[in-house]
């Protein structure tokens, strides 16, 4: 538990585990509980009235466990594009822009490259849906991997942290994750589809966890300091209704 100074108020930030899910608990001068499941990590946070004791919060959360699980599943599903067949003419996103896919069958290793307004993919003759998806996903992953070193190099001195290890992989429920002990950061290859500022936001968010594990006021203060536009960038990642419900 930590006590965080927030201007005139003292905000208490705490966390509890419910059904294997870690929930951050914030005490505020409010009348009702507010529960949210938030990008980029699918983190669960509850704001609770100061007068409500831990046991009552725990009971209320337990009653909402199915809702939380459902929101996390929705989050997962929203990550998926509508069903794609990976054929010429389909639109696919790259760095926040829409491109037309152009598929060419040709001997040799699969290749993907930008060509004007198109994403041009060449795959072996008869390459099935899975092979085409792998080719595109590999391209997305390589793109994010290429972007990271410069971004880490830019932010390490600014934030005064050092990232020991990082990697990029396709993830279904989160945009990024940070193992604070190992100082290891994972980023979602799907970020290649979003405007570059979203990738930077997720990286700064994960790096900020090296300074503060939770998402309480101290964390927000760090984000405001390093990346004043972080809320806008976060909103851009949320291309689905905010997973928030008031009780």
C-beta of 41 vs 217, nearer to Zn ion: 41
| DSSP secondary structure letters along 125-168 | TT--HHHHHHHHHHHHHHHHHHHHHHHHHHHHHHHT---SEEEE
- Contact residues: Zn ion, CB under 5 A: 41
Q: Does a cis peptide bond (omega within 30 degrees of 0) precede residue 68?
A: no
**CA separation, residue 79 to residues 178, 234, 237 (Å):** 20, 15, 10
C-beta of 64 vs 205, nearer to Zn ion: 205
C-beta of 92 vs 205, nearer to Zn ion: 205
Least distance to Zn ion, CB of residue 206, Å: 7
C-beta of 41 vs 147, nearer to Zn ion: 41
Residue of closest CB approach to Zn ion: 41
Least distance to Zn ion, CB of residue 223, Å: 10
| DSSP secondary structure letters along 200-233 | HHHHHHHHHTTT-SS-SHHHHHHHHHH-TTHHHH
C-beta of 135 vs 202, nearer to Zn ion: 202
**CA separation, residue 144 to residues 42, 168, 188 (Å):** 20, 7, 8
Contact 13, 25 (CB under 8 A): yes
Structure tokens at 210: 């090296």
Structure tokens at 131: 């092979």
Least distance to Zn ion, CB of residue 42, Å: 9
Least distance to Zn ion, CB of residue 198, Å: 14
- Sign of the Cα torsion 81, 78, 184, 197 reads positive
Least distance to Zn ion, CB of residue 16, Å: 17
Name the one residue in this structure whose structure tokens are 């419900």: 245
C-beta of 60 vs 161, nearer to Zn ion: 161
Q: How many CB atoms lie within 10 A of CB 226?
A: 16
**121-149: burial string, b at 16+ Cβ within 10 Å, e else:** bbbeeebeeeebeebbbebbbebbeebbe
Least distance to Zn ion, CB of residue 205, Å: 6
Least distance to Zn ion, CB of residue 124, Å: 40
C-beta of 64 vs 209, nearer to Zn ion: 209
């Amino acid at each position: 538990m930590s006590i965080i100074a927030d201007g005139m108020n003292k905000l208490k930030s705490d966390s509890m585990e419910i059904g294997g899910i870690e929930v951050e608990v914030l005490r505020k001068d409010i009348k009702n509980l507010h529960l949210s499941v938030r990008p980029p990590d699918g983190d669960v946070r509850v704001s609770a009235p100061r007068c409500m004791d831990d046991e009552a919060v725990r009971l209320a959360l337990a009653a909402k466990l199915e809702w939380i699980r459902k929101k996390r599943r929705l989050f997962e599903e929203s990550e998926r594009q509508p069903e794609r067949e990976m054929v010429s003419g389909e639109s696919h996103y790259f760095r926040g822009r829409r491109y037309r896919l152009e598929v060419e069958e040709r001997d040799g290793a699969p290749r993907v490259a930008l060509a004007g307004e198109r994403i041009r993919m060449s795959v072996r003759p008869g390459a099935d849906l899975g092979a085409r998806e792998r080719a595109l996903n590999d391209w997305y992953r390589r793109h994010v991997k290429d972007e990271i070193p410069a971004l880490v190099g830019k932010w390490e001195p600014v934030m005064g942290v050092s990232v020991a290890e990082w990697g990029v992989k396709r993830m279904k429920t989160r945009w990024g994750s940070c193992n604070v002990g190992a100082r290891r950061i994972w980023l979602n290859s799907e970020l290649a589809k979003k405007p570059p500022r979203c990738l930077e936001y997720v990286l700064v968010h994960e790096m900020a966890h090296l300074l503060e594990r939770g998402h309480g006021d101290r964390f927000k203060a760090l984000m405001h300091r390093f990346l004043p536009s972080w809320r806008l960038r976060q909103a851009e990642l949320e291309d689905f209704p905010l997973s928030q419900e008031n009780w």
